[in-house]
Amino acid sequence: MSHELVIKRAQVVCPGSISNCDIGISAGRITTLGENLEGREIIDAEGLIAMPGGIDSHVHIAQPSGPGIEMADDFASATRAAACGGNTTVMPFCLPEEGQTLRAAVSEYMSNAEGRCLTDVSFHLIVKSADPVTLGQDLPALIAQGMTSFKVFMTYQGLRLTDAEILQVMDVARDQGALTMVHAENEDAIEFLRDKAERSGNTAPVYHARTRPVPVEREATHRATTLAEIAGVPLMIVHVSNGAALDEIRRARARGVRVLAETCPQYITLTADDLDRAGFEGAKWVCSPPPRDNCEQANIWAGIEGGAFDVFSSDHCPFRFADSSGKDAPGARASFRNIPNGIPGIETRLPILFSEGVVKGRISLGTFAALTATNHARIYGLENKGAIAVGKDADIVLWDPSRTSPITQERLHHGADYTPWEGFEVTGWPVRTILRGQTVMRDGAPLGQPTGLHVARGKPEAAP
Ligand code: DUC
Ligand code: ZN
Ligand code: ZN
């Protein structure tokens, strides 16, 4: 049997094994894994590693971020950067604007994305109001359409839900078979610290980190896991930044609560000192939860190495630095309070984990594939994705495992005007990204038409 495409001589990372088989692809799917396969097109991948295309299950693209503030990426630039960083699917959040229904917001995001994406896209929802239309109509309808996960916030005025509201949302998740994701930081505690800092004249970017200390996240993580226990639902704690929060997750698991956990590159490579750079420079690293210190980085690594984390995502949330619609927003230099929260990272997530994790011997290639693709697909219900296996979509990334070079803004493809990892040396870089059998990146350059599709999802694995 001849295939449309065969990848030969790569080291192939399959679930549970690594082999040197050929990968046969036809009609966008992996149809054969074997020896001496024939194909109309052959990719000779000698010296490269074939892995499942990255799935980044935590990104923000063109999300409303307040009056006059704009994210640095639209769907074209975000997915171009994602493909260049070895990803084949991204999962952005859909956030309704003030007064907009969740369903109307989804239609708007879908039309913004349609025909512009170089990777596949699958939306999560953000539930910022526990009103009867959202809970009784929009959520059930959207879950039925394959948007089977949603995030709730315990911080940010205008976004945060009360404990009572979180319980109501979790109840819908239970009834409808969806997965609740939680941003766990205690808003009242942050506001207390923020207010005190401002009154003392401590307004520089580093006070963003100092007013969101570890206990703020630890307490909210404890509360979120307890609310899930009370509601009888599984949950995903996103962007875990420190050991104390992870300990809360471990304790909840020990009580029998199904808690999934995500961490991100910023928590293994950056620290609060990055926010303490001269002048306003530190604004480039303002994100929530903030990067911590070397000790917390070690705690996060211990969690990754010990299997406590299910997924490693970017939390890509890009704002331009030298821009009044970005980090340099009105009032941002007067107080850290007004600096938009978030950093770009969609293109650098995989190289950072590969270099710091696989190359430095902390995790295996199999664990890397699980943390960057396979687990995301399994957990969020992307049934055809996340593994090099017969029948799955031919979403594959070929890695050069030995290339060593610094991350620089110049080589990236996002819409931001900086990278938080400027000059950070990495070994290993994706050299070819294949989406459903079509090459969408080769040797660092995006390729082809934007053929990315919206993917409706099945029931998340952990959902009731
Ligand atoms: N939470 C996120 O998940 N992303 C960016 C900002 C935030 O607070
Ligand atoms: Zn968040
Ligand atoms: Zn996020």
Residue 178 has which token pair?
A: 């969806």
Residue from 155, 239, 241 to probe ligand 1 pocket by mutation (most atoms less than 8 Å from CB)? 239
Single out the residue of 154, 161, 145 nearest to residue 110, CA to CA. Answer: 145
DSSP string covering 363-394, please?
A: S-HHHHHIIIIIHHHHHHT-TT-SS-STTSB-
Residue 338 vs residues 64, 157, 263, 275, 416: alpha-carbon distances, Å? 15, 13, 25, 15, 18
Q: Separation of 111 CA from ligand 2 center, angstroms?
A: 24
CA distance 363 to 301: 10
CB-based contacts of 188: which residues, under 8 Å, 6+ apart?
none
Single out the residue of 420, 417, 455, 77 nearest to residue 264, CA to CA. Answer: 420
CB 272 within 8 A of CB 288: no
Atom of ligand 1 nearest to the CA of 93: 3
Q: Separation of 338 CA from ligand 1 center, angstroms?
A: 15
CA distance 359 to 428: 8
Give residue 383's identity as a one-letter amino acid code. E
CB-based contacts of 42: which residues, under 8 Å, 6+ apart?
5, 6, 8
Ligand 3 is an ion; its neighbours by CB within 5 Å are 315
Residue from 153, 287, 319, 336 to probe ligand 1 pocket by mutation (most atoms less than 8 Å from CB)? 287
- H or E element at residue 236: strand 235-237
**Phi, psi (degrees; rounded to nearest 5) at 114:** -60, 125
Q: Separation of 59 CA from ligand 2 center, angstroms?
A: 10
Q: Separation of 263 CA from ligand 3 center, angstroms?
A: 11
What is the value of pTM for the model shown? 0.98
Q: What is the pLDDT of residue 464?
A: 75
Q: Separation of 58 CA from ligand 3 center, angstroms?
A: 6
Atom of ligand 1 nearest to the CA of 317: 5
CA distance 156 to 153: 7
CA distance 52 to 299: 27
Instruction: Give the ligand with the smallest distance to the CA of 56.
Output: 3
Atom of ligand 1 nearest to the CA of 289: 8
The one-digit pLDDT tens for each residue of the chain (464 residues) are 799 999 999 999 999 999 999 999 999 999 999 999 999 999 999 999 999 999 999 999 999 999 999 999 999 999 999 999 999 999 999 999 999 999 999 999 999 999 999 999 999 999 999 999 999 999 999 999 999 999 999 999 999 999 999 999 999 999 999 999 999 999 999 999 999 999 999 999 999 999 999 999 999 999 999 999 999 999 999 999 999 999 999 999 999 999 999 999 999 999 999 999 999 999 999 999 999 999 999 999 999 999 999 999 999 999 999 999 999 999 999 999 999 999 999 999 999 999 999 999 999 999 999 999 999 999 999 999 999 999 999 999 999 999 999 999 999 999 999 999 999 999 999 999 999 999 999 999 999 999 999 999 999 988 87
Q: Separation of 166 CA from ligand 2 center, angstroms?
A: 15
CA distance 24 to 36: 10
Residue 384 has which token pair?
A: 């055809």
Residue from 124, 128, 186, 288 to probe ligand 1 pocket by mutation (most atoms less than 8 Å from CB)? 288
Q: Separation of 127 CA from ligand 2 center, angstroms?
A: 12
Q: Strands 11-14 and 17-19, how do they pair?
A: antiparallel
Instruction: Give the ligand with the smallest distance to the CA of 65.
Output: 1
Atom of ligand 1 nearest to the CA of 239: 3
Ligand 1 pocket residues where CB is under 6 Å: 60, 183, 238-239, 287-288, 315, 317, 341-342
CB-based contacts of 105: which residues, under 8 Å, 6+ apart?
94, 95, 96, 97
**Phi, psi (degrees; rounded to nearest 5) at 389:** -155, 150
Instruction: Give the ligand with the smallest distance to the CA of 58.
Output: 3
